[in-house]
A = this chain, B = another copy of it.
Amino acid sequence: MRIGIDVGGTKTESVALDDRGVVVARDERPTGFGLAEVVATVHVALASLMRQVGARDARPASIGIGVPGLVDRRTGTVLHAVNLGIDEFALGGELARRLGVPVTVENDVNAAAVGSYRALVRDGLSGLSSLAFLNVGTGLAAGIVVDGTLLSGSNGTAGEIGHIPVLTGGPRCRCGQSGCLEAVASGYAVATRWPSSAEHPLLDLFRASRQGDPLAERIASDLVDGIAAAIRMLVVAFDVERVIVGGGLTKVGPELWHSIRRKLDSWASESPFLDALDVPRRVVFGAPIAAVAAVGAAFLQESS
């Protein structure tokens, strides 16, 4: 049995997989803040999974953990999407020491990419060569899987396309540049450009845009263009067979995907090059399975 745990900013999702890779237990609970609390959350989640599978005292073969915005030690890149109040590297060491089990810690978007790959291969796409998981949540980033293996890059930051500028003269990004994908197409972008006390700021933005508010129209249009540009970039640069578009912002319903799809179609109608790449056909909107990052985390050891 192997365990995958997705430690998010607000909740922690955990799964236990049997030897065939089938999910046999699930757990979901709020994430504590700080190293001790996060370790405690993981412990309680583990106990819950073990209880569900009737193996309370057994040890899993391996544990994989997805965390937001893992920092690269060498470059010191510190752009957390969500702050857990911990050193994520310490988390892996601490858990491995306490549990006596190999623990792999990885960025949660990369874990979601691995989970999506496993899910699509399971669903019959056995010849799937590659995919990107594009996460549009608080931040914007992608994880890339090629032939079943995570593309990590030389410092572990491959796929961090959120900080590639795409809109000349666009809004300032928290990374210091301007017009980055993340500065126009993310929860962060909506929060800074369209401050709102509504429960769903993105839906509030879309509503105002539909009602003709010119600022809302521009921000919504930048958002749709930005996600479409991120998809195009992943297809053109990496030539991935599939782009899975997931993350919090994609949960607002089909309206967003319809707008992105119209934009991709409009670009293709102007460019034989893009048309030949058949970008929309490669897109899967929404994660293919529940708790995709947790499932992917369970496969991290054999995917890197």
Using a CB–CB cutoff of 8 Å, the interface residues on chain A facing chain B are 72, 75-79, 129-130, 146, 151-161, 163-170, 175-177, 179, 229, 232-233, 236-241, 267, 270-274, 276-278
Give A181 to B8 CA distance when docked, in angstroms: 37
Q: When the two chains form their complex, are residues B238 and A158 in contact, meaning their CB atoms are under 8 A apart?
A: yes
- Collect the chain B residues with CB atoms within 8 Å of residue A270's CB: 176-177
The copy count of this chain in the complex is 2
**In the complex where A166-B166, A176-B272, A177-B270 touch, is A160 in contact with B79 (Cβ < 8 A)?**
no
Other-chain residue from B76, B177, B267 in contact with A274 (beta carbon distance below 8 A): B177
In the assembly, what is the distance between CA of A1 and CA of B179, in Å? 51
Within the assembled complex, what's the spacing in Å between the Cα atoms of A255 and B161? 30
- A276-B77 in contact (CB<8A): yes
A165 smallest CB distance to B (angstroms): 7
- Whether A79 and B273, one on each chain, are in contact in the complex, defined by CB atoms closer than 8 angstroms, is yes
* Docked-complex contact A277 and B238, CB < 8 angstroms: no
Question: How far apart are the CA atoms of A277 and B130 in the complex, in Å?
Answer: 26
A130-B153, A161-B237, A237-B161 given as contacts; is B272 within 8 A of A175 (CB)? yes
> Which 8 interchain pairs have the tightest Cβ spacing?
A153-B239, A176-B271, A175-B273, A168-B168, A154-B241, A158-B239, A75-B276, A129-B154
A164 to B161, CA, bound (A): 13
Minimum CB–CB distance from A119 to chain B (whole Å) comes to 18
> When chains A and B are docked, how far (Å) is the Cα of A40 from the Cα of B166?
46
Distance of A132 from chain B, by nearest CB (Å): 10
Given known pairs A177-B271, A177-B273, the reply for A164 and B278 (CB within 8 Å) is no
A67 to chain B, nearest CB (A): 18
Q: Are A233 and B164 in contact (CB under 8 A)?
A: yes
A176-B271, A233-B164, A271-B177 known; A157+B76 contact, CB < 8 A: no
For residue A277, which residues in chain B have a CB less than 8 angstroms away from its CB?
Answer: 75, 77, 155, 157
Known: A77-B273, A152-B239, A161-B236. 16 other contacts (CB 8 A): A78-B276, A129-B153, A129-B154, A130-B153, A153-B240, A154-B240, A159-B237, A163-B271, A164-B236, A165-B166, A167-B168, A175-B271, A175-B272, A175-B273, A176-B273, A177-B267
